[in-house]
């Protein structure tokens, strides 16, 4: 999947598109485009990235519905275990045997369990 030990090359390069396409497709969506928005890089340890995407959800919105903007996050940890992972249910983990990458749809960040309530307080 990647040449760097911390996932930075994978999560910031063109290979990120394949990860996002797989994650979105696994959830029933279609990825139309993506753009890297933000990176949190800890050299030699981990990389987290946020992407702005255009995604359509044919089963939810109908086959003719236009794509909508969605934010997706991804993280790769090498040489250290994922710490303080609170909510893993709405994430997808992919691996090539050397590196694990966890992908989620915003606001379901597995390290920020209260983020959905903060982003959408009317749901609480």
Helix/strand/coil percent split, the chain, to 5:
25, 35, 40
DSSP-derived letter for residue 53 is E
Backbone angles phi, psi at 9, to 5 degrees: -65, -45
Tell whether the torsion through CA atoms of 59, 51, 83 and 93 is positive or negative: positive
pLDDT tens per residue across span 58-107: 999 999 999 999 999 999 877 556 666 656 667 888 887 778 888 999 98
Q: What is the pLDDT of residue 17?
A: 96
Q: pTM of the entire structure?
A: 0.84
Helix (H, G, I), strand (E, B) or coil at 7: coil
Q: What is the pLDDT of residue 21?
A: 96
What are the extents of the domains in the chain? 8-123
Q: What is the pLDDT of residue 41?
A: 92
Q: Label residue 41 exposed, middle or buried (CB < 10 Å: 0-12, 13-18, 19+).
A: middle
Confidence band for 2, pLDDT divided at 50, 70 and 90: very low
């Amino acid at each position: 999947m990647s040449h760097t030990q911390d996932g930075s090359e994978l999560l910031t390069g063109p290979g990120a598109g394949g990860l996002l396409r797989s994650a979105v497709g696994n959830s029933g969506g279609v990825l139309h485009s993506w753009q890297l928005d933000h990176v949190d890089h800890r050299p030699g340890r981990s990389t987290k990235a946020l992407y702005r995407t255009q995604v359509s959800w044919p089963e939810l919105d109908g086959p003719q519905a236009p794509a909508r903007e969605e934010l997706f996050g991804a993280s790769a940890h090498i040489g250290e275990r994922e710490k303080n992972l609170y909510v893993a249910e709405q994430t997808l983990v992919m691996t090539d045997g050397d590196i694990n990458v966890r992908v989620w749809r915003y606001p379901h960040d597995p390290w920020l369990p209260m983020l959905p309530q903060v982003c959408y307080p009317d749901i609480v």
